Structure 1
Protein backbone atom coordinates (compact mmCIF):
# COMPACT_ATOMS: atom_id res chain seq x y z
CA UNK A 1 0.00 0.00 0.00
CA UNK A 2 1.42 3.36 -1.01
CA UNK A 3 1.46 6.55 1.03
CA UNK A 4 -1.08 8.06 -1.36
CA UNK A 5 -3.55 5.24 -0.78
CA UNK A 6 -3.28 5.73 2.97
CA UNK A 7 -3.63 9.50 2.84
CA UNK A 8 -7.11 10.95 2.79
CA UNK A 9 -8.74 7.56 2.27
CA UNK A 10 -12.45 7.22 2.86
CA UNK A 11 -13.35 5.76 6.24
CA UNK A 12 -14.31 2.12 6.21
CA UNK A 13 -15.35 -0.18 8.99
CA UNK A 14 -12.67 -2.21 10.75
CA UNK A 15 -14.18 -5.44 9.42
CA UNK A 16 -12.45 -7.25 6.59
CA UNK A 17 -8.92 -8.47 5.99
CA UNK A 18 -7.23 -8.27 9.38
CA UNK A 19 -3.83 -8.63 7.78
CA UNK A 20 -4.39 -5.52 5.69
CA UNK A 21 -5.22 -3.45 8.79
CA UNK A 22 -2.08 -4.71 10.50
CA UNK A 23 -0.01 -3.81 7.41
CA UNK A 24 -1.43 -0.28 7.53
CA UNK A 25 -0.44 -0.08 11.21
CA UNK A 26 3.13 -1.24 10.53
CA UNK A 27 3.57 0.97 7.46
CA UNK A 28 2.29 4.01 9.32
CA UNK A 29 4.68 3.42 12.22
CA UNK A 30 7.59 2.81 9.82
CA UNK A 31 7.02 5.98 7.81
CA UNK A 32 6.50 8.09 10.92
CA UNK A 33 9.70 6.63 12.33
CA UNK A 34 11.66 7.93 9.35
CA UNK A 35 10.12 11.41 9.69
CA UNK A 36 10.70 11.47 13.45
CA UNK A 37 14.32 10.36 13.04
CA UNK A 38 14.97 13.34 10.76
CA UNK A 39 13.33 15.62 13.35
CA UNK A 40 15.49 14.16 16.15
CA UNK A 41 18.67 14.93 14.23
CA UNK A 42 17.67 18.62 14.29
CA UNK A 43 17.21 18.75 18.08
CA UNK A 44 20.12 20.91 19.35
CA UNK A 45 22.95 18.71 20.57
CA UNK A 46 21.35 15.37 19.71
CA UNK A 47 23.58 14.64 16.73
CA UNK A 48 26.69 15.28 18.89
CA UNK A 49 25.84 12.34 21.17
CA UNK A 50 27.49 8.93 20.84
CA UNK A 51 25.84 6.96 18.00
CA UNK A 52 24.80 4.25 20.47
CA UNK A 53 23.08 6.83 22.67
CA UNK A 54 21.33 8.43 19.69
CA UNK A 55 19.84 5.05 18.72
CA UNK A 56 18.92 4.16 22.29
CA UNK A 57 17.22 7.50 22.95
CA UNK A 58 15.42 7.52 19.62
CA UNK A 59 13.98 3.99 19.77
CA UNK A 60 13.07 4.39 23.44
CA UNK A 61 11.21 7.64 22.75
CA UNK A 62 9.72 6.92 19.33
CA UNK A 63 6.25 5.76 20.42
CA UNK A 64 5.97 8.73 22.77
CA UNK A 65 6.94 11.09 19.95
CA UNK A 66 4.57 9.28 17.60
CA UNK A 67 1.67 10.03 19.97
CA UNK A 68 2.83 13.59 20.69
CA UNK A 69 3.14 14.56 17.04
CA UNK A 70 -0.26 13.19 16.03
CA UNK A 71 -3.01 15.73 15.42
CA UNK A 72 -6.71 15.04 15.93
CA UNK A 73 -8.51 17.83 14.07
CA UNK A 74 -12.18 16.71 13.99
CA UNK A 75 -14.75 14.20 12.75
CA UNK A 76 -12.76 11.18 13.85
CA UNK A 77 -9.79 11.98 11.63
CA UNK A 78 -6.17 11.76 12.70
CA UNK A 79 -3.22 13.44 11.00
CA UNK A 80 0.14 11.71 11.43
CA UNK A 81 3.58 13.29 11.22
CA UNK A 82 4.23 11.73 7.79
CA UNK A 83 1.18 13.56 6.41
CA UNK A 84 -1.21 10.60 6.41
CA UNK A 85 -4.81 11.51 7.19
CA UNK A 86 -6.89 8.55 8.35
CA UNK A 87 -10.25 8.06 10.02
CA UNK A 88 -10.23 6.23 13.36
CA UNK A 89 -12.37 3.45 11.81
CA UNK A 90 -9.50 2.67 9.44
CA UNK A 91 -7.15 2.34 12.39
CA UNK A 92 -9.12 0.40 15.00
CA UNK A 93 -8.20 -3.09 13.82
CA UNK A 94 -4.49 -2.28 13.78
CA UNK A 95 -4.28 0.00 16.82
CA UNK A 96 -6.85 -1.80 19.00
CA UNK A 97 -7.44 -0.33 22.46
CA UNK A 98 -4.29 1.77 22.13
CA UNK A 99 -6.33 4.11 19.90
CA UNK A 100 -8.55 5.16 22.83
CA UNK A 101 -5.57 6.26 24.91
CA UNK A 102 -4.00 8.08 21.96
CA UNK A 103 -7.20 9.98 21.22
CA UNK A 104 -7.72 10.97 24.86
CA UNK A 105 -4.16 12.24 25.14
CA UNK A 106 -4.37 14.10 21.83
CA UNK A 107 -7.60 15.80 22.90
CA UNK A 108 -6.05 16.82 26.25
CA UNK A 109 -2.99 18.20 24.50
CA UNK A 110 -5.16 20.28 22.16
CA UNK A 111 -7.18 21.65 25.10
CA UNK A 112 -3.94 22.87 26.69
CA UNK A 113 -3.32 25.05 23.62
CA UNK A 114 0.45 24.93 24.06
CA UNK A 115 2.59 27.36 22.12
CA UNK A 116 5.29 26.12 19.76
CA UNK A 117 8.05 26.60 22.35
CA UNK A 118 6.29 24.55 25.04
CA UNK A 119 5.39 21.81 22.56
CA UNK A 120 8.98 21.64 21.26
CA UNK A 121 10.15 21.42 24.87
CA UNK A 122 7.90 18.42 25.55
CA UNK A 123 9.12 16.64 22.41
CA UNK A 124 12.77 17.30 23.28
CA UNK A 125 12.31 16.10 26.87
CA UNK A 126 10.64 12.90 25.63
CA UNK A 127 13.62 12.27 23.36
CA UNK A 128 16.25 13.14 25.97
CA UNK A 129 14.86 11.05 28.84
CA UNK A 130 17.40 9.11 30.92
CA UNK A 131 17.55 5.52 29.63
CA UNK A 132 19.30 2.44 30.94
CA UNK A 133 22.44 1.71 28.91
CA UNK A 134 23.43 5.25 27.93
CA UNK A 135 27.17 5.78 27.45
CA UNK A 136 27.12 9.56 28.03
CA UNK A 137 24.64 10.14 30.88
CA UNK A 138 26.02 13.55 31.81
CA UNK A 139 25.88 14.86 28.26
CA UNK A 140 22.26 13.75 27.89
CA UNK A 141 21.36 15.34 31.24
CA UNK A 142 23.00 18.60 30.17
CA UNK A 143 20.94 18.66 26.96
CA UNK A 144 17.85 17.86 28.99
CA UNK A 145 18.46 20.80 31.36
CA UNK A 146 18.46 23.18 28.39
CA UNK A 147 15.03 21.84 27.34
CA UNK A 148 13.31 22.10 30.70
CA UNK A 149 10.49 24.51 31.54
CA UNK A 150 7.13 24.32 33.34
CA UNK A 151 8.34 21.16 35.18
CA UNK A 152 5.08 20.15 36.91
CA UNK A 153 2.96 20.32 33.80
CA UNK A 154 5.57 18.63 31.61
CA UNK A 155 6.26 15.91 34.16
CA UNK A 156 2.59 14.90 34.20
CA UNK A 157 2.41 14.83 30.40
CA UNK A 158 5.61 12.81 30.10
CA UNK A 159 4.27 10.25 32.58
CA UNK A 160 1.12 9.82 30.49
CA UNK A 161 3.26 9.48 27.37
CA UNK A 162 5.34 6.79 29.04
CA UNK A 163 2.17 4.85 29.85
CA UNK A 164 0.99 5.18 26.25
CA UNK A 165 4.39 3.98 25.02
CA UNK A 166 4.03 0.80 27.09
CA UNK A 167 0.52 0.29 25.69
CA UNK A 168 1.91 0.70 22.17
CA UNK A 169 4.60 -1.91 22.82
CA UNK A 170 1.96 -4.25 24.22
CA UNK A 171 -0.06 -3.74 21.03
CA UNK A 172 2.93 -4.63 18.86
CA UNK A 173 3.54 -7.70 21.05
CA UNK A 174 -0.09 -8.79 20.60
CA UNK A 175 0.11 -8.37 16.82
CA UNK A 176 3.35 -10.37 16.74
CA UNK A 177 1.58 -13.17 18.64
CA UNK A 178 -1.44 -12.96 16.33
CA UNK A 179 1.01 -13.39 13.44
CA UNK A 180 -1.28 -12.16 10.65
CA UNK A 181 1.55 -10.13 9.13
CA UNK A 182 5.25 -10.29 10.06
CA UNK A 183 6.46 -6.92 11.38
CA UNK A 184 9.06 -5.15 9.23
CA UNK A 185 12.62 -5.26 10.63
CA UNK A 186 12.47 -1.64 11.82
CA UNK A 187 9.39 -2.41 13.96
CA UNK A 188 11.03 -5.54 15.33
CA UNK A 189 14.05 -3.45 16.30
CA UNK A 190 11.83 -0.85 17.95
CA UNK A 191 10.05 -3.56 19.91
CA UNK A 192 13.19 -5.38 21.07
CA UNK A 193 15.15 -2.21 21.91
CA UNK A 194 12.42 -0.72 24.10
CA UNK A 195 10.78 -3.77 25.63
CA UNK A 196 10.17 -3.01 29.33
CA UNK A 197 8.24 -6.19 30.24
Structure 2
Protein backbone atom coordinates (compact mmCIF):
# COMPACT_ATOMS: atom_id res chain seq x y z
CA UNK A 1 0.00 0.00 0.00
CA UNK A 2 1.20 3.50 -0.85
CA UNK A 3 0.72 6.14 1.82
CA UNK A 4 1.12 9.90 1.56
CA UNK A 5 2.56 11.50 4.70
CA UNK A 6 2.28 15.23 5.15
CA UNK A 7 2.05 17.97 7.75
CA UNK A 8 2.90 21.61 8.21
CA UNK A 9 6.35 22.79 9.15
CA UNK A 10 7.05 21.94 12.79
CA UNK A 11 4.27 19.37 12.99
CA UNK A 12 6.58 16.44 13.74
CA UNK A 13 6.22 14.78 10.34
CA UNK A 14 9.89 13.77 10.20
CA UNK A 15 9.61 12.08 13.59
CA UNK A 16 6.57 10.15 12.38
CA UNK A 17 8.44 9.12 9.21
CA UNK A 18 11.15 7.68 11.44
CA UNK A 19 8.59 5.63 13.38
CA UNK A 20 7.05 4.38 10.14
CA UNK A 21 10.50 3.28 8.98
CA UNK A 22 10.92 1.49 12.31
CA UNK A 23 7.59 -0.25 11.65
CA UNK A 24 8.99 -1.64 8.39
CA UNK A 25 7.73 0.91 5.87
CA UNK A 26 9.88 2.11 2.99
CA UNK A 27 10.17 5.91 3.15
CA UNK A 28 10.41 7.94 -0.05
CA UNK A 29 11.57 11.38 1.12
CA UNK A 30 10.74 13.99 -1.51
CA UNK A 31 12.68 16.69 0.35
CA UNK A 32 15.80 14.53 0.23
CA UNK A 33 15.22 13.93 -3.48
CA UNK A 34 14.86 17.67 -4.06
CA UNK A 35 18.11 18.36 -2.22
CA UNK A 36 19.94 15.72 -4.27
CA UNK A 37 18.66 17.25 -7.50
CA UNK A 38 20.10 20.64 -6.51
CA UNK A 39 23.52 19.51 -5.29
CA UNK A 40 26.62 20.05 -7.45
CA UNK A 41 26.03 17.98 -10.59
CA UNK A 42 22.35 17.49 -9.69
CA UNK A 43 19.95 16.85 -12.54
CA UNK A 44 18.00 20.07 -11.91
CA UNK A 45 20.98 22.43 -11.87
CA UNK A 46 21.38 23.08 -15.63
CA UNK A 47 17.74 24.17 -15.96
CA UNK A 48 17.85 26.21 -12.74
CA UNK A 49 20.99 28.00 -13.90
CA UNK A 50 19.41 28.76 -17.26
CA UNK A 51 16.16 30.01 -15.72
CA UNK A 52 17.48 32.00 -12.76
CA UNK A 53 21.11 32.83 -13.55
CA UNK A 54 24.49 32.09 -12.00
CA UNK A 55 23.74 34.24 -8.94
CA UNK A 56 21.50 31.42 -7.67
CA UNK A 57 24.35 28.89 -7.89
CA UNK A 58 27.03 28.52 -5.22
CA UNK A 59 30.74 28.40 -6.02
CA UNK A 60 30.70 24.59 -5.96
CA UNK A 61 27.73 24.34 -8.35
CA UNK A 62 24.85 23.74 -5.94
CA UNK A 63 21.63 25.70 -5.65
CA UNK A 64 21.92 28.70 -3.32
CA UNK A 65 18.99 27.58 -1.24
CA UNK A 66 18.77 30.67 0.98
CA UNK A 67 18.72 33.04 -2.00
CA UNK A 68 16.19 30.89 -3.86
CA UNK A 69 14.00 30.54 -0.78
CA UNK A 70 13.89 34.32 -0.35
CA UNK A 71 12.95 34.76 -4.02
CA UNK A 72 10.28 32.04 -3.95
CA UNK A 73 8.63 33.50 -0.85
CA UNK A 74 8.47 36.97 -2.41
CA UNK A 75 7.77 36.13 -6.07
CA UNK A 76 4.98 33.70 -6.92
CA UNK A 77 5.94 33.53 -10.59
CA UNK A 78 9.53 32.59 -9.72
CA UNK A 79 8.25 29.92 -7.36
CA UNK A 80 6.15 28.43 -10.17
CA UNK A 81 9.15 28.44 -12.51
CA UNK A 82 11.23 26.58 -9.93
CA UNK A 83 8.43 24.07 -9.33
CA UNK A 84 8.08 23.46 -13.07
CA UNK A 85 11.72 22.35 -13.08
CA UNK A 86 11.79 20.37 -9.86
CA UNK A 87 8.40 18.70 -9.57
CA UNK A 88 8.60 16.38 -12.62
CA UNK A 89 12.11 15.29 -11.60
CA UNK A 90 11.08 14.71 -7.97
CA UNK A 91 8.01 12.73 -9.02
CA UNK A 92 9.95 10.52 -11.41
CA UNK A 93 12.61 9.69 -8.82
CA UNK A 94 10.04 9.14 -6.05
CA UNK A 95 8.05 6.70 -8.18
CA UNK A 96 11.24 4.88 -9.17
CA UNK A 97 12.18 4.48 -5.50
CA UNK A 98 8.67 3.20 -4.72
CA UNK A 99 8.87 0.62 -7.51
CA UNK A 100 12.19 -0.63 -6.13
CA UNK A 101 10.94 -0.86 -2.54
CA UNK A 102 10.25 -4.20 -0.92
CA UNK A 103 7.96 -3.39 1.99
CA UNK A 104 4.29 -3.83 2.94
CA UNK A 105 3.94 -0.04 3.10
CA UNK A 106 5.58 2.58 0.91
CA UNK A 107 5.34 6.03 2.46
CA UNK A 108 5.78 9.14 0.32
CA UNK A 109 6.95 11.87 2.71
CA UNK A 110 5.66 14.97 0.89
CA UNK A 111 5.59 18.27 2.82
CA UNK A 112 3.43 19.96 0.15
CA UNK A 113 1.23 16.97 -0.70
CA UNK A 114 -2.01 18.93 -0.34
CA UNK A 115 -0.67 22.06 -2.03
CA UNK A 116 0.68 20.28 -5.11
CA UNK A 117 -2.54 18.46 -5.99
CA UNK A 118 -0.47 15.83 -7.80
CA UNK A 119 0.06 13.24 -5.11
CA UNK A 120 -3.44 12.31 -3.94
CA UNK A 121 -4.20 10.08 -6.96
CA UNK A 122 -0.90 8.25 -6.46
CA UNK A 123 -1.54 7.07 -2.88
CA UNK A 124 -4.17 4.89 -1.24
CA UNK A 125 -4.19 6.80 2.07
CA UNK A 126 -3.10 10.22 3.31
CA UNK A 127 -1.77 10.59 6.85
CA UNK A 128 -1.65 14.16 8.19
CA UNK A 129 0.40 15.13 11.22
CA UNK A 130 -1.37 18.07 12.79
CA UNK A 131 -0.80 20.69 15.48
CA UNK A 132 -1.77 24.29 16.10
CA UNK A 133 -0.08 27.14 14.24
CA UNK A 134 1.21 28.51 17.55
CA UNK A 135 2.90 25.17 18.25
CA UNK A 136 4.37 25.09 14.75
CA UNK A 137 5.79 28.57 15.19
CA UNK A 138 7.24 27.84 18.63
CA UNK A 139 8.92 24.61 17.45
CA UNK A 140 10.42 26.09 14.30
CA UNK A 141 11.77 29.16 16.11
CA UNK A 142 13.92 26.78 18.15
CA UNK A 143 15.76 25.75 14.97
CA UNK A 144 19.04 27.51 14.16
CA UNK A 145 18.72 30.37 11.70
CA UNK A 146 14.94 30.70 11.79
CA UNK A 147 13.53 34.18 12.42
CA UNK A 148 9.87 35.05 13.06
CA UNK A 149 9.62 36.55 9.56
CA UNK A 150 11.05 33.43 7.94
CA UNK A 151 8.68 31.21 9.92
CA UNK A 152 5.68 33.32 8.95
CA UNK A 153 6.74 33.14 5.30
CA UNK A 154 7.00 29.35 5.46
CA UNK A 155 3.60 29.06 7.14
CA UNK A 156 1.99 31.36 4.55
CA UNK A 157 3.36 29.19 1.72
CA UNK A 158 1.73 26.04 3.09
CA UNK A 159 -1.86 24.86 3.13
CA UNK A 160 -4.01 25.65 6.13
CA UNK A 161 -4.63 23.09 8.86
CA UNK A 162 -8.21 22.82 7.64
CA UNK A 163 -7.16 22.03 4.06
CA UNK A 164 -4.72 19.35 5.21
CA UNK A 165 -7.24 17.74 7.53
CA UNK A 166 -9.88 17.76 4.78
CA UNK A 167 -7.51 15.76 2.55
CA UNK A 168 -6.64 13.21 5.23
CA UNK A 169 -7.68 9.60 5.66
CA UNK A 170 -6.10 9.69 9.12
CA UNK A 171 -4.91 12.53 11.36
CA UNK A 172 -2.49 12.34 14.27
CA UNK A 173 -2.74 15.37 16.53
CA UNK A 174 0.82 15.94 17.70
CA UNK A 175 0.04 18.58 20.29
CA UNK A 176 1.78 18.07 23.66
CA UNK A 177 1.84 14.36 22.84
CA UNK A 178 4.61 12.41 24.62
CA UNK A 179 7.03 10.78 22.19
CA UNK A 180 6.10 7.29 23.38
CA UNK A 181 2.39 7.99 22.80
CA UNK A 182 3.11 9.37 19.32
CA UNK A 183 5.12 6.26 18.50
CA UNK A 184 2.27 4.01 19.69
CA UNK A 185 -0.24 5.82 17.47
CA UNK A 186 2.04 5.51 14.44
CA UNK A 187 2.79 1.83 15.07
CA UNK A 188 -0.89 1.03 15.46
CA UNK A 189 -1.77 2.77 12.20
CA UNK A 190 1.13 1.12 10.34
CA UNK A 191 0.01 -2.30 11.57
CA UNK A 192 -3.56 -1.68 10.45
CA UNK A 193 -2.64 -0.38 7.02
CA UNK A 194 -0.01 -3.07 6.57
CA UNK A 195 -2.65 -5.74 7.21
CA UNK A 196 -4.84 -4.19 4.51
CA UNK A 197 -2.18 -5.06 1.93
CA UNK A 198 -2.50 -8.77 2.64
CA UNK A 199 -4.60 -10.87 0.28
CA UNK A 200 -7.60 -12.47 2.07
CA UNK A 201 -7.56 -16.32 2.17
Same-fold call, TM > 0.5? no
Structure with higher RCO (Cα < 8 A, 6+ apart): 2
Q: What TM-score do the two structures reach when normalised by structure 2? A: 0.30
In the superposition, the TM-score normalised over structure 1's length comes to 0.31
